[in-house]
Structure 1
Amino acid sequence: MKKWFILVCTSFLILLSLSACNQNKIQNLKLAEVTHSIFYAPLYVAMEEGFFKEEGLDVELTTTWGGDKTMTALLSDGADIALVGSETSIYVEAQGSKDPVINFAQLTQTDGTFLVSREKMDNFEWDQLEGRTFLGQRKGGMPQMVGEFVLKQNGIDPTNDLELIQNIDFANIPSAFASGNGDYVQLFEPTASIFEKEGTGYIVASFGTESGHVPYTTFMAKESFLKENDEAAKKFTAAIYKAQQWVEENEVSKIAQSIAPQFEDTEIELIETVVARYKEQGSFSTDPILEEEEWNNLQNIMDEAGELPTRIDYDTLVNTTYAKDVMKK
């Protein structure tokens, strides 16, 4: 009887130990980001503040430098999750994908670019672009589509009212402007603020403020991955939501200090300037839900730019289940 009791107790302890190991098991996820930018501050907060680890996730981050390369990494299983503009999922779906790319958590909700003028202007008006040279972004990319949309919203025809230059590689646009090309340029941060600090150019308008809410960068994954990794996707979304709330609730200086390790070559004062600018204009989503109105606004912008292959229903490529579940808690 005594031996039997000892055997039962030993078996119970082994099962308990195995159960604890399973609960503490860390799941690895490969995340590809389209670029490495302060614009994605909540993501880096999730990493630096340990929110992914709290959810039992080890996230391996890779910068893939470009929407096409990011989507290629996702489709070829080089990444489990991609952080990229939602327009890329529409392009993939329009090509007849058998495994749709699903937007399941939103990170930024406005465009992240700014209009920079070579001359300092105290009272900028959009009609001042008429007859001038404008260095835009890559044709077909979200920044360029938003840029053209905003110009048209303000009565400027990008084709006829100014000289629009689009044939410069993304990485070379700032240097082209700095070397004397163009009267205006569309730039991301922190380059826009660096130019302003150096006197190379001056921020006169925000494309994010002008264009309204759009799913500018979202976390997405193949439908098959989400079905097979439902719990991991939910945990990932929970970590992002924690970070979004943390960014919303904390001061700019604290946010900058948190993400500073991600930008070792950038002065903390500049990080603060950029975080403040994006936070003030509401670029950081405060929750991971991609709203239907935002989805429709995105397709309207693509359509206006002549880049929308076909309209895709919201429910086809957007899944808010994880976001709504984690927000309930």
Structure 2
Amino acid sequence: MSGPKFRIAPALFLLACFSFNGAAFAQAIEKPKVSIAVGGKHLFYYLPLTVAERLGYFKEEGLKVEISDFAGGSKALQALVGGSADVVSGAYEHTINMQAKGLPITAFVLQGRAPQIVFAVSNKTMPNYKSIADLKGKKIGVSAPGSSTNTMANFVLAKGGLKPADVSFIGVGTAAGALAAMRSGQIDAIANLDPLITMLQQKNDIKIIADTRTLKDTQAVFGGPMPAGTLYTTAAFLKKYPNTAQALANAMVRSLKWLQKASPSDIVNVVPETYLLGDRALYVDTIVKGREAVSPDGTFAQDGVKTALATLQAFDPALASKKIDLSKTFTNELVKKANAKYK
């Protein structure tokens, strides 16, 4: 009896070890398949998301991530609210707006520490532009109504004495449609991001009136640091799938750290060819201009979230009357652990 038991024991031991490790892995990732919604995936604003996907960082954390691209951040938010997306790669300020509406969502990774949004007027339809007052009654193109591009435009207008109702906002997306709308004269101004803005600049299609692609320019526009792209989700998701959220944070922090060291050519070689809009040199120029906007470690700064709230309240009287608990709009707990893992 002792002979067969002895021979079988090692096999059972190995099987037990394998089963234990497999079970531990399964327990670690409660929801291996995760859907992420994003509004304008090709934008430099969301480059960390693309890098994490293309370099296989999500997969190495045990995740199968499916990314759905929408015309703008407000559309991506709708996907989360409607239940067709688990997580959004989107602007931080949506967490504040949704708390005001009674839906708690929390940002858990900061992708960008400057919005990278540029507000510019058309040299075609407004060659004699002098001040914000000239925009009254004009058509302004944004990625999608309610998106971060719309938020930035509203804030710039408010500083110049105009209300959102004084202009007409038109959703034009973030790619070829926006380019065509500006060059054909369908819109008089635009709030959008790179690489689109740099392309319009190169052809002298626009005159820039507010730029947030660098930390210095962001400070000048908003009066403080302004958090930009994040990963955010519902408070319910974070509570139900904490290890899944941690895996997402791990992959994103790893991506941010890779971006700190990568050369422009390294980055160009990682992103899909379509991101280059047919102009590799332009995309490289975009990377060089906007590099400091990328968060180095995914951490939210307290003064930044305060700036975001003040920005929204500046043009939204309804929000100004709401009591917002900023501590519930973001968490640094997951990125703290991710940074300990990927130094």
- Deviation by residue 1:7-57 (Cα, 9 ceiling, x = unmatched): 322211211232344466682221111222222111111112222222222
Matched, 1:325 2:337: yes
Q: Is the contact between residue 172 and residue 181 of structure 2 (CA under 8 Å) also seen in structure 1? A: no
Tell me by how many angstroms 1:174 deviates: 4.0
Letter of the 2:151 counterpart: M
Measured after TM superposition, the shift of residue 225 of structure 1 is: 1.7
Preserved contact between residue 276 and residue 282 of structure 2 (Cα < 8 Å) = no
Query: For 1:220 and 1:178, how far apart are their aligned partners in 2?
Result: 34
Give the 3-state SS of the residue equivalent to 1:131 in structure 2: helix
Q: Any idea what the Cα deviations from partners look like across 1:248-296, whole Å, max 9, x if unmatched?
A: 12222222222234627543222212222211xx321112112221111
Q: Does 1:207 align with 2:219?
A: no
Q: CA 1:218–1:243 in structure 2 vs 1: closer, same or farther (change >3 Å)?
A: same
Q: 1:94 to 1:183 in 2, by over 3 A?
A: closer
Q: Which residue among 102, 108, 127 is the counterpart of 1:104?
A: 108
The question of whether the paired residues in 2 share the 8 Å contact of 1:192 and 1:202 is answered with: no
Structure 2 CA distance for aligned equivalents of residues 222 and 184 of structure 1: 34
Residue matched to 2:266: 254
Structure 2 contact 74–147 (Cα < 8 Å) conserved? no
Secondary structure of the equivalent of 1:263?
helix
Are 2:180 and 1:180 aligned? no
- Code of the residue aligned with 1:193 in structure 2: it is T
| Residue matched to 1:71 | 77
Would you say the 8 A contact 2:58–2:248 is kept in 1?
yes
Rounded to whole Å, the distance in 2 between the matches of 1:286 and 1:43 is 14
Q: What is aligned with 1:59? A: 65
RMSD: 3.0
Letter in 2 for 1:175: A
Amino acid at match of 1:296: K
Is structure 2 residue 100 aligned with structure 1 residue 94?
yes
1:48/1:259 contact within 8 Å kept: yes
2:193 matches 1:191: no
Residue 55 of structure 2: aligned partner? 49
The aligned counterpart of 1:292 is: 302
Q: Which moved more, 1:51-60 or 1:21-30?
A: 21-30
CA contact (8 A) 2:49 2:89 kept: no
Counterpart of 1:103 in structure 2: which amino acid? A
The Cα offsets for residues 105-145 of structure 1, whole Å up to 9 and x where unpaired, read as 1112222222335459xxxxx96555357653366443233
Q: Which shows bigger deviation, 302-311 or 241-250?
A: 302-311
**1:195 and 1:202 in contact (8 A); partners too:** no
Q: List alignment gaps of at least 5 residues for structure 1.
A: 121-125
TM-score of the pair, normalised by structure 2: 0.80
Deviation at 1:304, TM superposition (A): 0.4
Q: Distance in 1 between matches of 2:56 and 2:77?
A: 27
Amino acid at match of 1:67: G
Structure 1 CA distance, aligned partners of 2:190 and 2:79?
A: 30
Identity value in percent: 20
CA distance in structure 1 between the aligned counterparts of 2:196 and 2:76, rounded to whole angstroms? 22
Alignment correspondent of 1:38: 44
**Structure 2: how far apart are the matches of 1:207 and 1:166?**
22
Label 1:262 to 1:326 Cα distance change in 2 as closer, same or farther (>3 A).
farther
Structure 2 segments unaligned to the other structure (5+ residues): none
Larger CA deviation: 110-119 vs 241-250: 110-119
Partner of 2:285: 273
What is the DSSP-based 3-state SS (H/G/I as helix, E as strand, rest coil) of the residue aligned with 2:294?
Answer: coil
Q: Alignment length, in residue pairs?
A: 316
